[in-house]
Amino acid sequence: MQAIIECKNLTHYYGKRCIYENLNFSLPKGKITGLLGKNGTGKTTTINILNGFLKPYSGDCYIFGEPSYSLSPKTKERIGLLLEGHIQYPFFDIVQIEKFYASFHPGWKKEYYFELMKKLNVSEKQKISKMSCGQRSQVALGLLLAQDPELLILDDFSMGLDPGYRRLFIDYLKEFVKAENKSVFITSHIIQDMELLIDDCLILDYGKVLLHKPTKELMSRFKRYRFEDKGAFKSGTDFYNTETIMGKTETYSFLPEKEAIIQIREKLPVNYEIINESLSLEDIFIGLTGKY
Amino acid sequence: MIKAFFYKEWIKTRKYFALVVIIGLILEAYMFLKLGRSFRFAGYEHLWDVVINKNQFLFSYLKYYPFWAGLILGILQFLPEISNFRIKLSLHLPLKETRIIFYMLSYGVISLVILFVLLSGILFLGASHFFAKEIVSNYLLTTLPWFFSGLCGYFLFAFCAFEPVWKRKLVNICLSAFLLYFFFITDFPAAYEKLSSIIILCIIPLIGITMVYYSIYRFKIGVQASYR
């Protein structure tokens, strides 16, 4: 499958602090890929590098085959960008901002924008600066949909949104991607939302890519196991983030259920009861990256 | 597309910039009212003596106005762009970044030039009513560096505003203050009439433009951008 975004040996530092080293990943066309990671793992750094707002210390990053730090106007036209916090021009009202952006995009679909604006119940003369965070998010989304780009890059789309606006955002995004050749690269702090949306999951840990897998595969294979062993269990390479709190242990693994249970039993002195659980994406994220 | 950029900048600045224009007009009206009053009370002979023998410049009220006009326009235009790094939205538009900046700056330059030509025109017509041609041209030459300082203040504000590193921003502010000093060395009539002075006056705004591009370049490559 054709890669729409490709990062090769990406390394970045802020001063002496290493954000990541030799990061490699590529994103296929036509998928929604979620970039997950704890605070400070480099999600926004990655988004900035992808949009050419940050030159990496070393390595290459390509979007539609072009180096991300020097995207041509034609390529920029194919990319829709949502900045963290749904940032837009606050001095415009909802009609003025549409008029402004429409001049830059030949395939502008204003009906998409105004359909969303009708739902907001705000006056045409209302300034964006006077809108709530939720309303601003809809303005930003409407503009992105009207641009009709091939690739959407969304930095923390759920920031500051109540559940209703988050769901509205997700519903519209899903419809957008259903159209041919649309791809989305998205980050969010609220991982529950991502579960409803993303096809692929790219998880960053401090300094590296921890995992890049289809969300379905992750949700069907990654399990949590709990047992009361008073801390006797010592995890091996197949188990993630084993933690014992007040004599109760929990660990996570990609191993098939039976095999995982056999391995756990082998390491326990007594035949404790082992409970295995299917997990939400948020639990999977915590299982892979740890709570701290 | 340039129309769209001008539209954006116009929406951003129109109300406050209109206020700046009105203040400029009021300032000139006040200067001429005061001048007329002085002519009536002190007499032509006395004022001619003050102007010709004592080399006093009668429009000094105008001295810092162009600088403030340029600075205020810069603030109105670029502060919304730097707050929340909104400039990223502009730089992401499907145009070359250099062109995007050029369009934004063009709006400011055109607005300021229109304002300054208007004020200079009024100054020319008003002064021609009271003084001989030579004095009027001397007066225009005296105000020229002040009008240049307006353009320069505008560019230098952008230069400082877009700089991504705070320490460097302070250095830029000091450098800008130093460059702006050249426009206000003296208000002796036609002190800047020498060609070399005029060349320096033209070079400083050019340095200003170049430095805006430099700051944008530094912003674009994310120099020490750990805060964003």
Domain match, A191 and A257 both: no
Residue A136 falls within a domain, yes or no? no
CB-based contact B12 A91, cutoff 8 Å:
yes
Question: Which residues does chain B have within 8 Å of residue A48's beta carbon, measured at their own beta carbons?
Answer: 222, 225, 228
CB-based contact A87 B225, cutoff 8 Å:
no
The residues facing A80 across adjacent strands are A152
Supply the ipTM of this predicted assembly. 0.86
Domain match, A275 and A182 both: no
Residue B130 falls within a domain, yes or no? yes
- Higher pLDDT, residue A99 or A196: A99
For residue A16, give the DSSP letter: T
Question: Which residues does chain A have within 8 Å of residue B1's beta carbon, measured at their own beta carbons?
Answer: 103-104
Task: Report the range of poorest mean pLDDT among A17-21, A200-204, B52-56, B166-170.
Answer: B52-56
In angstroms, what separates the C-alpha of B110 from chain A's closest C-alpha?
20
Residue A280 falls within a domain, yes or no? yes
Question: Which residues does chain A have within 8 Å of residue B219's beta carbon, measured at their own beta carbons?
Answer: 53
Residue B225 falls within a domain, yes or no? no
Give DSSP secondary structure letters for A36-64.
EE-TTSSHHHHHHHHTTSS--SEEEEEET
- What are the angstrom distances between the C-alpha of A86 and each of A91, A114, B164? 14, 18, 21
Residue A267 falls within a domain, yes or no? yes
Give the Cα-Cα-Cα angle B148, B151, B155 (nearest 5 degrees).
135
In angstroms, what separates the C-alpha of B216 from chain A's closest C-alpha?
10
CATH number at residue A179: 3.40.50.300
Say whether pLDDT at A1 is over 70: no
CB-based contact B94 A14, cutoff 8 Å:
no
Listed residues A217, A245, A270: the one ending a domain: A217
What is the structure's pLDDT at A68? Answer: 92
pLDDT tens track for A146-182? 999 999 999 988 887 888 888 888 888 888 887 777 8
Question: Which residues does chain A have within 8 Å of residue B17's beta carbon, measured at their own beta carbons?
Answer: none
Minimal Cβ distance to A54: which of B3, B8, B222 = B222
Domain match, A226 and A194 both: no
In angstroms, what separates the C-alpha of B191 from chain A's closest C-alpha?
43
Nearest chain B alpha carbon to A18: B226
> Which residues contact residue A221 at a Cβ distance below 8 angstroms, ignoring those fewer than 6 apart?
A254
Domain match, A279 and A163 both: no
Number of domains in chain B: 1
Number of domains in chain A: 2
What is the structure's pLDDT at B224? Answer: 67
Domain match, A213 and A233 both: no
Tell me the residue range of the domain where A160 lies: 3-90+147-217
CB-based contact B85 A54, cutoff 8 Å:
no
CB-based contact B8 A92, cutoff 8 Å:
yes
Residue A131 falls within a domain, yes or no? no
Tell me the residue range of the domain where B116 lies: 2-220
CB-based contact A15 B224, cutoff 8 Å:
yes
Residue A119 falls within a domain, yes or no? no
Specify whether the CB–CB gap between B120 and B140 falls below 8 A. yes
Residue A15 falls within a domain, yes or no? yes
> B216: which 2 tokens?
């944008």
What is the structure's pLDDT at B228? Answer: 44
Residue B40 falls within a domain, yes or no? yes
- Higher pLDDT, residue A290 or A219: A219
In this prediction, residues A134-150 reach a mean pLDDT of: 91
Q: List the A183-187 sheet strands across, edge first.
A: A79-82, A151-154, A183-187, A32-37, A200-205, A208-214
> A12: which 2 tokens?
């970045």
Say whether pLDDT at A49 is over 60: yes
Say how far apart CA B197 and CA B82 lie, in whole Å: 34
Which parts of chain B sit beneath pLDDT 50? 225-228
Q: Which of A234-238, A273-277, B126-130 has the highest mean pLDDT?
A: B126-130
